[in-house]
């Protein structure tokens, strides 16, 4: 059955990481999104997990939109096999466009860039700039310390306990896809975000 979401952004590493489970998860997410009829919005590169998600979505007949800043075109080896590729003038406009195009966000294992993208999208939700679902896919516990950082901020009085509800985390790809289907079938939040306010 097609998912009610038409476009979902995936944030993940521009490297493969050291555990085979990370590549397996990236491949399964790409395939799962394609099979659910969901367009993949991602960082436009052909490297690491991000390239793997895009390749898997394309191999399963999915639609892929990449968004890459011009200065990363060569470093992240721009993917020339995707249906739509937008080259932006900066990192900020890349993230803004990915945000505007996506109805929900999936976070897979990654490094500093992935952390940045995750915290930014969570922060924007905290600021009520949007109300789009954010799902962290906690493959082999890679996100435990990231979530612990948020818990510590709450415990130390730097964040409201409600910050924990700004995102969800699931243990694996099947759980992520199942949750996405439920969220897609739920009534759309009214606040889908206005990129002009970011």
- Chain positions contacting ligand AMP, by CB under 6 A: 13-15, 43, 45, 50, 72, 76, 91, 95, 110-114, 116-117
In the bound state with ligand AMP, the residue whose beta carbon lies nearer, of 36 and 135, is 135
In the bound state with ligand AMP, the residue whose beta carbon lies nearer, of 38 and 146, is 146
- Comparing every residue's Cβ against ligand AMP, the nearest one is 113
DSSP string, 49-87: HHHHHHHHHHHTT--EEEEEEGGGTTTTTB-SSSSEEEE
In the bound state with ligand AMP, the residue whose beta carbon lies nearer, of 44 and 133, is 44
In the bound state with ligand AMP, the residue whose beta carbon lies nearer, of 75 and 191, is 75
Least distance in Å: CB of 153 to ligand AMP?
A: 20
Least distance in Å: CB of 105 to ligand AMP?
A: 13
Least distance in Å: CB of 1 to ligand AMP?
A: 31
Least distance in Å: CB of 27 to ligand AMP?
A: 17
d(CA 15, CA 7): 24
d(CA 142, CA 17): 10
DSSP string, the chain: ---S-SEEEEE--SS--S-HHHHHHHHHHHHHHHHTTPEEEE--B-SHHHHHHHHHHHHTT--EEEEEEGGGTTTTTB-SSSSEEEEESSHHHHHHHHHHH-SEEEE-S--HHHHHHHHHHHHHHHTTS----EEEE-GGGTTHHHHHHHHHHHHTTSS-GGGGGG-EEESSHHHHHHHHHHHHHSPPPS----GGG-
In the bound state with ligand AMP, the residue whose beta carbon lies nearer, of 184 and 193, is 193
In the bound state with ligand AMP, the residue whose beta carbon lies nearer, of 7 and 115, is 115
Least distance in Å: CB of 13 to ligand AMP?
A: 4
Least distance in Å: CB of 36 to ligand AMP?
A: 23
């Amino acid at each position: 059955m097609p998912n009610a979401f038409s476009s979902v952004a995936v944030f993940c590493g521009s490297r493969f990481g050291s555990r085979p489970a990370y590549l397996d998860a990236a491949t399964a997410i790409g395939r799962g999104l394609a099979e659910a009829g969901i367009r993949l919005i991602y960082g436009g590169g052909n490297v690491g997990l991000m390239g793997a998600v895009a390749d898997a979505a394309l191999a399963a007949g999915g639609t892929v939109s990449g968004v890459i800043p011009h200065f990363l075109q060569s470093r992240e080896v721009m993917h020339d096999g995707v249906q739509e590729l937008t080259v932006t003038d900066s990192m900020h406009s890349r993230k803004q466009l990915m945000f505007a195009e996506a109805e929900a966000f999936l976070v897979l294992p990654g490094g500093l860039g992935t952390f940045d993208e995750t915290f930014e999208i969570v922060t924007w939700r905290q600021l009520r700039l949007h109300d789009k679902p954010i799902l962290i896919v906690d493959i082999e516990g890679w996100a435990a310390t990231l979530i612990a950082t948020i818990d510590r901020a709450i415990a130390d009085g730097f964040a409201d306990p409600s910050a924990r509800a700004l995102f969800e985390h699931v243990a694996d790809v099947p759980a992520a896809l199942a949750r996405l289907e439920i969220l897609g079938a739920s009534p759309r939040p009214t606040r889908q975000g206005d990129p002009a306010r970011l």
